[in-house]
Structure 1
């Protein structure tokens, strides 16, 4: 490889390490894991909890629980957006 190719690869490696160090570390050890964009364990847990609150609110006929379940479900669905962190990390443009 030429010198410019080595620089490009080093730059790519540095950006990957900065973006998702756990993924880069696992990739370097030869046991890759899912990138951050595809790890959604907390989102599924939050969505399951929201649905449980909705069901309990419907069974007990409690409007407050129903409203809380709907708000939690909306928050949980937004956690599934893979570009959420990138948009939050970027500074606003003037």
Structure 2
């Protein structure tokens, strides 16, 4: 016997709450916000700090600061990737 639509909708709702509770809460209030995949505030902040370290390391003859800034830049750029999906486990009955 196939599941009813209500069961499927409740499963989707449970998965949404597990994946991004802030988005689900805002959606329930009628004021949706960006899903987690599109929130990039921390990534921009990390990139700005990393680029500041690169510029400072290049202006001042500081090789260690320059190298650390380059590594931090690579890590910050990785935060922009959209493939940061978490696997959602279906709720157990």
Q: Name the TM tier (shorter chain).
A: 0.7 to 0.9
Structure 2: which 5+ residue stretches go unaligned? none
Give the TM-score taking structure 2 as reference length: 0.85
- 1:16 is aligned to 2:16: yes
**Unpaired stretches in structure 1, ≥5 consecutive residues:** none
Q: Write the distance in 2 (CA, Å) between the matches of 1:86 and 1:9.
A: 20
Tell me which residue corresponds to 1:57. 57
TM-score where L is the length of structure 1: 0.84
Structure-to-structure mapping, 1:9-88, within 5 angstroms? 9-86=9-86
Total equivalences in the alignment: 87
Higher relative contact order (CA 8 A, sep 6+): 2
**Aligned partners of 2:14 and 2:22: how far apart in 1?**
13
RMSD of aligned residue pairs (Cα, Å)? 1.9
How far did residue 83 of structure 1 move?
Answer: 2.6
Structure having the higher helix fraction is: 1
Please identify runs of 4+ aligned residues in structure 1 that moved more than 4 A.
none
CA deviation profile, 1:19-56 (whole Å, cap 9, x unmatched): 10000000000010000111111111000000000001
